[in-house]
C-alpha cells in the first residue's frame, strides 16, 4: 500500500472513477468537485488530495486544504474527507492517512492542523483537541479540532 497525490498521479481518470463509485457520499462529492474543475476553487489553490492505494485499487483518501466547511480562513490547513474503505477498516489506515497529511503540512512549515467534524471520540484518540464549536457552511453544528505539529 502507498499514499499518492491524486493531482500528481499518472492515472487520475482511474482514481476519479473509483472515487465516484465509493459508497460514502462525501467521496462522490469530492469526485464531482474534481470533475467540474472546482476542487481548487472550493478548497484553495494549494490543496492536496491524498489517495491510499494498493496496485490500482483505491482504499482510502483525505484532503489537506486551505478551506473546509467552515468560513474561517484564519485557520489552516484543514484535513478533510478522511475515508477508508470498509473492507480495510481496523488496520490503522485512518491513522496512516492522518499522519501522512500531518507530515505534509509539517514539511510546508505549518505548526498545526485542523479538522471540522461532528464525530466525538474519533479524532481525540489521534491527539486532536476540540478548540471550538460552531455551525458549518450549511448551518449544521460541528466541532473544530486542532493538533499541534511541534
Query: pLDDT tens across 83-136, in order?
Result: 999 999 999 999 999 999 999 999 999 999 999 998 888 999 999 999 999 888
Dihedrals phi, psi of 30, to nearest 5 degrees: -60, -45
Query: pLDDT tens across 124-147, in order?
Result: 999 999 999 988 888 899 999 999
Torsion-angle region of residue 30: left (phi > 0), alpha (psi -120 to 50) or beta? Answer: alpha
Cis peptide before 77 (omega within 30 of 0): yes
DSSP 46: T
* Mean model confidence pLDDT for the chain: 94
Secondary structure element (H or E) that encloses residue 17, with its range: helix 12-20
Amino acid at each position: 500500500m502507498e499514499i499518492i497525490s491524486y493531482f500528481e498521479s499518472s492515472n487520475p481518470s482511474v482514481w476519479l472513477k473509483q472515487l465516484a463509485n465509493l459508497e460514502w457520499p462525501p467521496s462522490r462529492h469530492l469526485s464531482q468537485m474534481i470533475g467540474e474543475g472546482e476542487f481548487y476553487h472550493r478548497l484553495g489553490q494549494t490543496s492536496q488530495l491524498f489517495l491510499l492505494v494498493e496496485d490500482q485499487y483505491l482504499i482510502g483518501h483525505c484532503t489537506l486544504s486551505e478551506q473546509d466547511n467552515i468560513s474561517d480562513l484564519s485557520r489552516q490547513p484543514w484535513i478533510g474527507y478522511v475515508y477508508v474503505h470498509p473492507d480495510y477498516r481496523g488496520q490503522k489506515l485512518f491513522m496512516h492517512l492522518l499522519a501522512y497529511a500531518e507530515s505534509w503540512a509539517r514539511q510546508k512549515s505549518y505548526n498545526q492542523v485542523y479538522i471540522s467534524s461532528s464525530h466525538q471520540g474519533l479524532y481525540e484518540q489521534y491527539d486532536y483537541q476540540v478548540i471550538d464549536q460552531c455551525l458549518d457552511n450549511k448551518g449544521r453544528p460541528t466541532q473544530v479540532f486542532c493538533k499541534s505539529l511541534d
